[in-house]
Every structure is written in structure tokens, then in C-alpha cells.
Amino acid sequence: MGIPYTSRMSPVTPPSEPTTRSRSERGVIGFWQRISEGRRIDELWSQFTADARLSYGFYIKETDSTEYESHRGFRRWYRIAKALFWALMMKLSPARRILFLVAFVLLVFAILRLNGGVNGDYAFYYFLATLLLILLLSLELADKVTMKRDLEIAREIQTWLVPSKAPEVAGGDIAFASRPQNSVAGDYYDAFYPTASASEHGKLMLVIADVAGKSIPAALLMATLQASLHTIAGEGAPLADLVMRLNRYACAHSLDGRRFTTAVLGEYDPAERRLLYANAGHNPPILRRANGDIQRLEASGLPLGIEMDATYPTSSVGLEPGDALILYTDGVVEAFNEKGEEFGNERWLGAINALPDLGAPESLQFLMKRVDDFVGFTRQSDDITCLVFRCK
């Protein structure tokens, strides 16, 4: 089944209010609950620090580190502040840069000329600078809201391209979850019967892929990958031929290899309990045997979209009751906490080793909880996607 994978920061139901509270107190509490969405102070602080760290990383990437790396002390911090100021201002449109610069100059002028308390003209400068900054904030917020609305529409469309409910498979159980880094994702997962005849015979296609890049560009390429995959698979093409044809299509739209895609594609035959698979440069899926042994399904070819003539040999592996097959994207192992520490392959393998004998949905929840507990409320920089197949 499909399990929606959302942030751990869910609104907390406020406690019931004592009847002895005054009307003004209830009004203040209601106002706070509305703007905070019921979250605790520690949750809000964690969210703020995570957002601040992410924003700092976003702007610092736009600076030239050679301008401040050779300096120490106050001069270093001054040059970093200067570089961040220019990085921030150059993200604005030309008209808004002027507005921001005027507000900044007015604010600095008022601070430098102020002598003991706010008075006269300096109070006016403060007031005018504040109004200009509020105006600039409202303009940027309007753009963000408009873009967010468009992204929500794109996200709704994208949800049509991935299964909301896992298909039934004889002797197996499937669950999947995905959390986009932004409103839309470049990760792709799927579990489907390519043709009606395949459904009758029980052949099932399992797919997980990760398009290089983030947000809208990656999501658009993910959509074309999904359409191509379903078209080719519907023709009944053998798995090796299917992957090579996908690669040729990806190469034709990869912008000289800059938009490549890593993927694992497999065909599961319940009658033989055997998985035929090809790994195109993706994180190796983990097969955890019922006895606890671990097997990694390593890459057998380059990512899709790198070389037109690349070949993709297939491999097969037999499954037994109690085995668990875990497919995931790099956002899982590269998830990080507020200290910047990565979850990493070792912790991921540890979670898989500790996997209890559960169905696919429960197994998926167990694994994702391990990731969530490590990450906390830290906002991630990559999509996180996982698919679990349990053999019964």
C-alpha cells in the first residue's frame, strides 16, 4: 500500500482551556494557537534554526569564498556579512533592489545619527525604512504565495503519475512512501503490471529512480521518464531492452549529460519467486533475508542519460518467504540532522538489520521512523523515497 510520508512536525492539539480564564486570555491563547498552528516553542525554535541554517547555506553558495577565507577575526565576519548582503540583494529584481537599498540606507543613517533616544527626523527615518521593508516583504511574499500555488498544482499532477495504492501481488506485499524536498520531487517510484497479460501471469514491474536536480526541472524529467517507461513496458519489451531504450530517450533529453537519472528496474515473477533487475547507477537495493543475511543489488550500468550506447546487463535473485527487499533513493542515506551529520549507509543498514518480521507497510514505517528520529525537525535538501517489498 502507499503510505503518505510527511514531516514529523504535525500540529499539536491544544489542551482544553479552564473556564476561569478571562476573555482576553482566551483571545491571546487563540491568537497564539492560530499563528503557531499549535506547535510547541521547542518545535518552533527547531524549525527556525533549521530554516536559518538552510537559508545561510543557500546564500553563502552564491558568494566568492576567496574574499574572506584569508581573513580572520572582525575583518572575516565583515567580509562574510558584505558577501551575504550582496548575495541577498542580487536575488531581488532591479526595482526591488533599489527599494531595499533605500530602506537599508535610511535605517543605517538613523542609527548612526541617533544620539540618546528616538526623536524628530530620526524617528521619521526609522518609520520610513520600516514601511519600505514591509512593502518589500509583502511583494516577495506575494510572489512566493503565487509560486506556491502553482507548485501545489504541479504536485497534484505529479501524484497522478505515481501509484497511490500498491497493486496486489501473489505471495508478496508492497508499500512505498515519498517526501519531496520541495513541493514537487525528482524521485520516482512505481509498482505496476505492464500489460493485462502480465497481470494475469503475475509479472510485476518494480521501479525506483532519482532524476539529477531538484524541484520543477527534475519533476518534469520524472514525468517524461514515467511516460516513456509505461509506453515501452506496455509493448512487452524484455527488461534489458526496456532499460536500453529508456537510456536512449534519456540521452536525447539530458542536456549533454547534465540531466541524468539513476534507476533500479525490476520484474518480479511470483510463480518462481524471482526478481530480474537492472541497476542504472542507483543506490544498491538491500535484500534482507529471513535469516538476517544482507545482499546488495549493485549497479550494473551507468545512470540513464550519460552514454547513448551504454549497455545494462540484468541479474536475477530468488526470494523466499520472510525476505525483505528495500529500494530507496540517496535522500535516505544523505538525510542529515541539525548538527549536519548524515544518516549514512551504516545507520541505514543497522535499521534494516533490526527490521522485525512485519508486513511491508509496517516495515516501511519502522524504517522511516529511524530516519525521522535521526533527522528531527531539520529541513532536508533532497527528496526522500523508499519502497519495501516483503515476500510472504
pLDDT tens digits, residue range 272-310?
999 999 999 999 999 999 999 999 998 788 999 999 989
Q: What is the CA radius of gyration of the chain?
A: 26
Q: Are residues 126 and 192 in the same domain?
A: no
- Judge whether 187 lies within some domain: yes
Please tell me the predicted confidence (pLDDT) of residue 196.
62
One-character DSSP codes across 325-338: EEEE-HHHHT-B-T
Asked whether residue 372 is domain-assigned, the answer is yes
pLDDT recorded at residue 62: 75
pLDDT value for 184:
65
pLDDT digits (tens, 9 = 90+) for 129-166: 889 888 888 888 888 777 777 667 666 766 777 888 88
CA distances from 368 to 113, 155, 312, 363 (A): 56, 22, 31, 9
Q: How far apart are CA 11 and CA 44, in angstroms?
A: 11
Cα–Cα dist 314/199, whole Å: 22
DSSP 285: P
Domain closes at, from 110, 140, 157:
157
Domain co-membership, 281 together with 175:
yes
Q: How many residues does the chain have?
A: 392
Task: Write the single-letter amino acid at 67.
Answer: E
Out of 128, 157, 186, a domain closes at 157
Mean pLDDT across the chain, nearest whole number? 82
pLDDT tens by residue, 227-243: 889 999 988 889 999 99
C-alpha distances out from residue 197 to 170, 172, 202, 233, Å:
15, 19, 8, 12
Give the CB-side neighbour count of residue 287, counting CA atoms within 13 A: 16
- What single letter denotes the amino acid at residue 307? E
| Rounded Cα–Cα distance for residues 39 and 37 (Å) | 6
Reported in sequence order, the residue ranges of the chain that DSSP labels E, i.e. its strands, are 172-179, 187-192, 204-211, 261-269, 274-280, 286-288, 294-296, 315-318, 324-328, 384-391
Are 76 and 211 in a shared domain?
A: no
Instruction: Output the nine-digit C-alpha cell for 164.
Output: 497511490
Q: Of 206, 221, 210, 220, nearest to 176 (Cα)?
A: 206
Residue among 207, 208, 205 at smallest CA distance from 238: 205
Judge whether 130 lies within some domain.
yes
What is the C-alpha separation between 284 and 298, in angstroms, rounded? 5
Residues 226 and 96 grouped into a single domain: no
Question: 326 with 382, same domain?
Answer: yes
Q: How many structural domains are present in the chain?
A: 2
Residue 19 has pLDDT above 60, yes or no: no
Q: What is the pLDDT of residues 57-99, one digit of tens each?
A: 777 777 777 777 777 778 888 888 888 888 888 888 888 889 8
Q: Domain for residue 6, yes or no? A: no
270: pLDDT strictly greater than 50: yes
Residue among 134, 132, 108 nearest 122 (CA): 108
Q: Is 213 part of a structural domain of the chain?
A: yes
How many CB atoms within 10 Å of residue 278?
25
**16 located within any domain:** no
Q: Which triple of cell numbers denotes residue 223?
A: 514525468
Q: Looking at the domain assignment, is residue 14 inside a domain?
A: no
The C-alpha angle 390, 176, 3, rounded to 5 degrees, equals: 115
Distance between CA 369 and CA 113 in Å, rounded?
55
SS3 91: coil
Residue 208: predicted pLDDT = 95
Output the pTM of the full model: 0.69
Domain assignment present for 2:
no
- Percentage with pLDDT > 90 across the chain: 31
Give residue-wise pLDDT tens across range 171-220: 899 999 888 776 666 788 999 998 765 555 568 999 999 988 766 777 77
Q: Which pLDDT does position 257 carry in this prediction? A: 60
pLDDT at 17: 46
Q: Fill in the DSSP letter of residue 212.
A: S
Which residues on neighbouring strands pair with residue 276, listed in sequence order? 267, 316
Q: Can you give the residue range of the structural domain that contains 345? A: 166-391
| Same structural domain, 150 and 173 | no
**Residue ending a domain, choose from 137, 157, 177:** 157
209: domain CATH number is 3.60.40.10
